[in-house]
Amino acid sequence: MRLQKEEIEVSLFIDPTLDAVKASEAFGVEWIEFHTGKYANIYAMLYTNLAKTHHSIAELELSRKILKQMLGDELCNLRLLSCEAMEHGLRVAAGHGLNMQNVKDIVEIETIEELNIGQSIVARSVYTGLEQAILDMKAKMIR
């Protein structure tokens, strides 16, 4: 790949699917970043008041039992696919929609090396200041 010839590390932002992992490997990239929006949306519908607002996600207006199962399934999917990616020489990151409330279970997936959570930190910094927002998130990310 032309970028790698120039010693530029390449990463793809992908949906957490086996097909996307395989395609990433075929492209010869070093990194993939899993889009964690589905996980974050399920979490928000389950553990926040989102379902009671006009921002509710219609396809996730389901029972708590079903949402809990979906959340567990999505975490399992992220765990399995990150292991699969690592076995094929890909380094794994994750991000999109991660915040102080939902990041802990993602942190527990040891094959995910990096989290991209800047938006959440900047949003929180409005209330706590940037330094404190960073420290708070770092505390949540301790394995």
pLDDT in tens, 45-58: 999 999 999 999 99
**Class in CATH terms, 10-140:** alpha beta
What confidence score (pLDDT) does residue 132 get?
A: 95
What confidence score (pLDDT) does residue 1 get?
A: 67
Q: Are 129 and 108 in contact (CB under 8 A)?
A: no
User: Is residue 34 predicted with pLDDT exceeding 90?
Assistant: yes
Greater pLDDT, 8 or 16: 16
Report the predicted TM-score, pTM, of the whole model to 2 decimal places.
0.90
Q: Are 40 and 60 in contact (CB under 8 A)?
A: no
Kindly state the average pLDDT of the residues 84-97.
96
Q: Are 89 and 123 in contact (CB under 8 A)?
A: no
In the chain, where are the structural domains located?
10-140
Q: Any residues with CB less than 8 A from the CB of 108 and at least 6 apart, and which?
A: 143
Q: Is the dihedral of CA 63, 67, 68, 73 positive or negative?
A: positive
Q: What is the pLDDT of residues 100-133, one digit of tens each?
A: 999 999 999 999 999 999 899 999 999 999 999 9
